[in-house]
């Protein structure tokens, strides 16, 4: 009935964002959900109107204990079990392959497959039990989605379906995907040779086809060879849309570019080399670019007027990393080469909070008498430690100490709430702070230092949560870019030539991603597709996507035509 092949049809539907129509008649079309290629779709006009793309399913390591049909379920549970075993490392991928080939694929719908959509290949795994729960409403769509997303995020591997062809001739220092609502599509990369490139992560430009797999290649949409004279340390998209992007370089300039014409619209000259820039993505009343330079002052550049708004001084050495708060549009967090992390409210002068690594959350309570010290710490208590008896002896000591501190301040310096800590030498790290990342909910801050430590801070109280991230070694010379998953479960840290993923709350190493030949500088987690992009000194951008089981080989054999022979067993090839 259709003259185009199925793949072309799928591509066309994907491009138009339409639902797919199942080619095979299945008796399941009685529900408003139907299956095609092991994915659940909703018929247009079905209960869940919002879903126009196939729904991936949660963790297949959940046990399946309630089969409903005979053939399909038996097959599916077998497949799920094998997938679970494979993930547990007990069954080899080839064993799973045998399971697949064994059932024979009379029904195309009962195989897991790749879905091509505009060049992007995804794989969805399926759990019968979760599907039942979705059907009878006991599992909400958001919980469903969360389970799937987190299982995909923790199963990343070097992608064998997608690659970026980078034309950079220098180390890649910065990667960023635009943060437009609902679609994070364009990847902006900046390198040490002064070049900037933008990639489209959804559509490949070509594909290199080999015998069994074809890798979708993404060439840059444009590549600016001489954007800056020296190395570019950071490139950012304008938070509102992709019409503008901003680059900061070691040649002391911050430039604002128009994306469509790739011309410089504005530039700012700074007194020293720029290590980092940041723009607040939630800001509605200001459009300030905060710049971190080797100079001790943090300068805010105003986009609307083209001039500098004001400067924040307080650091003792250069500032290496900065980040706007993800909950307030007026709070800026900076990390300096002196090891201090300062919080600034840009409406007032001075730092209002300085993070001290020796202050932990243990047993803190606000002082009984109001002291003039500006950094009033809220009380938080650790869930793990229950030593509340230790809190009372601390209290008089703290009070006495703060009282003494006030006496020693030189009387000529007027103190007001903003000017807390020009005297405060507290350090957050023993070396320079070279990476900062706030969690998406705005409660916690992660900071990485050149003392090879990653620390988690509770922002509200300003205390060290003492979560210990297992041994890592962080390069000391450059600012690095950390990545956190939006549900705050994993943090990705570049450690020399590999990238490590840690559980945010307990500090255990979940995964180590080894693929680069030289030190990794930056990483970005694409929350839409649960992919991780990393850039390193070896001039490559690598893509890490959720792992694909070996069943894809069946798909190839199947598409060449005909039903594969059922007469196979575990030992057949």
Q: Which residues of this protein are in contact with other proteins, per CB under 8 A?
A: 358, 360, 362-363, 382, 384-385, 387, 390, 393-394, 397, 400-401, 404-405, 407-408, 425, 430, 451-453, 466-468, 470-473, 495-498, 506-507
Report in angstroms how near the CB of residue 25 gets to other proteins at its nearest.
Answer: 54
Q: Which tokens in the block code for residue 9?
A: 């049809």
Note the helical H segments in 117-182. Answer: 128-136, 141-153
214-218 and 162-164 beta bridge pairing: parallel
280 or 421, CB closer to other proteins?
Answer: 421
Q: With the C-alpha atoms ordered 448, 454, 460, 462, is the resulting torsion angle positive or negative?
A: negative
Give the Cα separation of 154 and 157 in Å (integer).
9
Report the 3 state secondary structure along 179-220.
CCCCCCCEEEEEECCCCEEEEECCCCCEEEECCCCEEEEECE
Measure the CA angle with vertex 292, ends 289 and 298; round to 5°: 80
- The residue (of 242 and 488) whose beta carbon lies closer to other proteins is 488
Nearer CB in complex with other proteins: 271/393: 393
Element containing residue 77 per DSSP (H, E): helix 71-88
Please state the φ and ψ torsions of residue 79, each to the nearest 5 degrees. Answer: -65, -40
Least separation in angstroms between CB 467 and other proteins? 5
Closest distance between other proteins and the C-beta of residue 413, in Å? 14
Q: Minimal distance in Å, beta carbon 281 to other proteins?
A: 30
274-300: buried (b, 16+ CB within 10 Å) or exposed (e) per residue? bbbbbbbeeeeebbbbbbbbbbbbbbb
Q: Measured from the CB of residue 538, what is the shortest distance to other proteins in angstroms? A: 16
Q: Is 367 within 8 Å of 360 (Cβ atoms)?
A: no
Q: How many Cα neighbours within 13 Å face the side chain of 402?
A: 19
Q: How far is the CB of 100 from other proteins (least distance, A)?
A: 33
Buried b (16+ CB within 10 A) or exposed e, 181-219: eeebbbbbbbbbbbbbbbbbbbebeebeeeeebbbbebb
CA atoms of 359 and 421, how far apart (whole Å): 15
Give Cα 72 distance to the centre of its chain. 37
Give least dist CB 70 to other proteins, A. 43
Question: How many Å apart are CA 157 and CA 547, to the nearest integer?
Answer: 5
Q: Between 478 and 500, whose beta carbon lies closer to other proteins?
A: 500
Q: How far is the CB of 293 from other proteins (least distance, A)?
A: 21
Shortest reach from residue 419's CB to other proteins, in Å: 18
| Residue number, 278 or 490, with CB nearest to other proteins | 490
- Token digits for 185? 């599509």
CB of 451 to other proteins, least distance (A): 5
How far is Cα 434 from Cα 335, in angstroms, rounded to an integer? 7
Q: In the complex with other proteins, which residue's Cβ is closer, 411 or 561?
A: 411
The nearest distance, CB 356 to other proteins, in angstroms, is 9
Q: Which is nearer to other proteins, 211 or 358 (CB)?
A: 358
Least distance from other proteins to the Cβ atom of residue 471, Å: 3
419 vs 497 by CB, closer to other proteins: 497
C-alpha distances (whole Å) from 85 to each of 78, 147, 269 are: 10, 19, 58
How far is Cα 455 from Cα 446, in angstroms, rounded to an integer? 6
- Cβ neighbourhood burial of 315 (10 Å; 0-12, 13-18, 19+): buried
Q: Is 70 exposed, middle or buried (0-12, 13-18, 19+ CB in 10 A)?
A: exposed
Q: Which of 237, 250, 239, 135 is nearest to 186 (CA)?
A: 237
* Of residues 363 and 535, the one with the C-beta less far from other proteins: 363
Q: In angstroms, what is the minimal distance from the CB of 499 to other proteins?
A: 11
Burial class (CB in 10 A: 0-12, 13-18, 19+), 415: middle
Task: Give residue for tokens 């971190």.
Answer: 292
CB of 358 to other proteins, least distance (A): 5
DSSP label at residue 383:
S
Nearer to other proteins, 309 or 362 (CB): 362
Considering the complex, state which of residue 63 and residue 390 has its C-beta at the smaller distance from other proteins.
Answer: 390
CB atoms < 10 A from the CB of 147, how many? 18
Nearer to other proteins, 379 or 390 (CB): 390
Residue 329 or 451 having the CB closest to other proteins: 451
Residue recorded with tokens 């938080």: 380
């Amino acid at each position: 009935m259709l003259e185009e092949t199925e793949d072309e049809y799928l591509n066309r539907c994907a491009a138009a964002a339409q639902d797919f129509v199942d080619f095979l008649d299945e008796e399941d079309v009685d529900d408003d959900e139907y299956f095609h290629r092991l994915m659940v779709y909703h018929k247009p006009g079905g209960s869940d109107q919002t879903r126009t793309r196939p729904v991936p399913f949660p963790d297949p390591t959940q046990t399946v204990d309630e089969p409903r049909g005979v053939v399909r379920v038996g097959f599916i549970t077998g497949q799920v079990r094998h997938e679970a075993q494979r993930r547990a490392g007990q069954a080899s991928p080839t064993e799973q392959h045998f399971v697949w080939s064994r059932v024979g694929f009379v029904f195309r719908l009962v195989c897991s497959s790749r879905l091509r959509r505009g060049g992007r290949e995804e794989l969805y795994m399926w759990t019968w039990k979760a599907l039942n729960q979705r059907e009878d409403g006991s599992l909400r769509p958001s919980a469903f989605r969360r389970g799937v997303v987190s299982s995909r995020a923790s199963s990343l591997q070097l992608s064998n379906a997608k690659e970026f062809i980078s034309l950079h001739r220098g180390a890649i220092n910065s990667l960023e995907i635009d943060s437009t609502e609902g679609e994070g599509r364009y990847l902006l990369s900046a390198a040490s040779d002064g070049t900037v490139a933008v990639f489209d992560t959804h559509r490949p430009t070509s594909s290199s086809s080999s015998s069994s797999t074809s890798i979708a290649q993404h060439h840059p949409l444009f590549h600016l060879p001489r954007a800056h004279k020296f190395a570019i340390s950071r490139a950012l998209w304008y938070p509102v849309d992709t019409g503008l992007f901003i680059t900061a370089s070691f040649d002391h300039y911050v430039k604002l570019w128009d994306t469509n014409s790739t011309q410089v619209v504005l530039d700012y000259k700074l007194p020293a080399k720029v290590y980092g820039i940041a723009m607040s993505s939630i800001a509605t009343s200001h459009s300030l670019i905060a710049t971190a330079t080797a100079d001790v002052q943090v300068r805010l550049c105003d986009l609307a007027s083209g001039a500098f708004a004001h400067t924040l001084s307080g650091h003792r050495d250069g500032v290496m990393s900065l980040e706007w708060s993800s909950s307030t549009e007026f709070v800026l967090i900076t990390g300096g080469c002196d090891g201090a992390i300062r919080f600034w409210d840009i409406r007032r002068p001075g730092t209002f909070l300085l993070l001290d690594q020796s202050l932990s959350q243990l047993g803190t309570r606000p002082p009984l008498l109001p002291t003039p010290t500006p950094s009033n710490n809220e009380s938080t208590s650790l869930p793990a430690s229950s030593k509340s008896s230790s809190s009372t002896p601390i209290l008089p000591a703290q009070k006495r100490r703060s009282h003494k501190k006030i006496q020693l301040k030189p009387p000529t310096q007027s103190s007001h709430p903003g000017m807390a800590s020009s005297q405060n030498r507290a350090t957050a790290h023993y070396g320079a702070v070279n990476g900062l990342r706030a969690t998406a909910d705005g409660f916690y801050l992660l900071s990485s230092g050149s003392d090879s430590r990653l620390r988690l801070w509770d922002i509200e109280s300003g205390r060290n949560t003492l979560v210990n991230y297992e041994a890592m070694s962080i390069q000391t010379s450059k600012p690095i870019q950390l990545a956190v998953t939006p549900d705050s479960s994993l943090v990705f840290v570049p450690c020399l030539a590999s990238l490590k993923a840690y559980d945010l709350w307990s500090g255990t190493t979940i995964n180590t991603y080894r693929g680069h030949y030289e030190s990794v500088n930056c990483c970005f987690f694409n929350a839409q597709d649960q992919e991780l992009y990393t850039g390193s000194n070896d001039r490559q951008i690598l893509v890490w996507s959720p792992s694909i089981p070996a069943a894809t080989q069946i798909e190839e054999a199947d598409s060449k035509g005909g039903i594969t022979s059922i007469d196979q067993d575990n030992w057949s090839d």
